[in-house]
Amino acid sequence: MGLMTRWKNRILASLGSRYPAFARWLSSGYDPLSLEETPWAPVDFRVSEARLALVTTAGVHHRSQKPFDMNDPDGDPEFREINGAAIADDYTITHDYYDHRDADRDLNVVFPLERLRAMVQAGVVGGVTGLHYSFMGHIDGRHIDTLVRQTAPDVAERLQRAGADAVLFTPG
């Protein structure tokens, strides 16, 4: 994808964040994966007793990690592992498809780990895992299969190993 296309994506993203009606019009042209049956894991605990993990599609990652691929028009189905202890002081966002200037200023806008920690401190959330996971939410074409068959199951296994009782998903 050329520089011009990346600029166009950023301009559309900026307009979409400023004018929600424009964003809805933009997104109405996209046909996402449609599931007939929703996978279901029951909740048999209170959130105040549960250890939570975050998974975001907002393109957050550590500065030392490889940025998400912004040149492939179908996006990037890979994920980045987020170290909860370090992310507040060491993050960047690679995602041309939404305007992340506010999230650049306050990560909690898309990845509310600091807020979750305050809730843990107050006893309304049981705990948070040490590791969390991040995707860049523009995943299309051939990459959907990679996401569904490889990277999403990989993240699910990692979340189990991290001891997550429940997961909060946040978009960009």
User: Which 103-162 positions form the footprint of other proteins (CB under 8 A)?
Assistant: 103, 105-106, 108-110, 112, 115-116, 118-119, 122-125, 156, 159-160
d(CA 125, CA 128): 8
- Non-local (6+) Cβ contacts of 64 within 8 A are 90
As given in the structure block, the two tokens for residue 102 are 């506010």
HSE at residue 10, side-chain half, CA atoms within 13 A, is 14
DSSP 8-state secondary structure symbol assigned to residue 58:
B
Applying CB under 8 A, which part among 29-37, 66-74, 75-83, 142-150 lies near other proteins? 29-37
- Per CB under 8 A, 169 contacts other proteins: yes
Applying CB under 8 A, which part among 32-40, 60-68, 84-92, 142-150 lies near other proteins? 32-40
Interacting residue with other proteins among 1, 23, 120, 152 (CB under 8 A) = 23
d(CA 11, CA 14): 5
* Residue whose tokens read 């109405």: 28
Residues that bind other proteins (CB under 8 A): 13, 16-18, 20, 23-24, 27-28, 30-35, 37-43, 46-47, 55, 58, 98-100, 102-103, 105-106, 108-110, 112, 115-116, 118-119, 122-125, 156, 159-160, 164-172
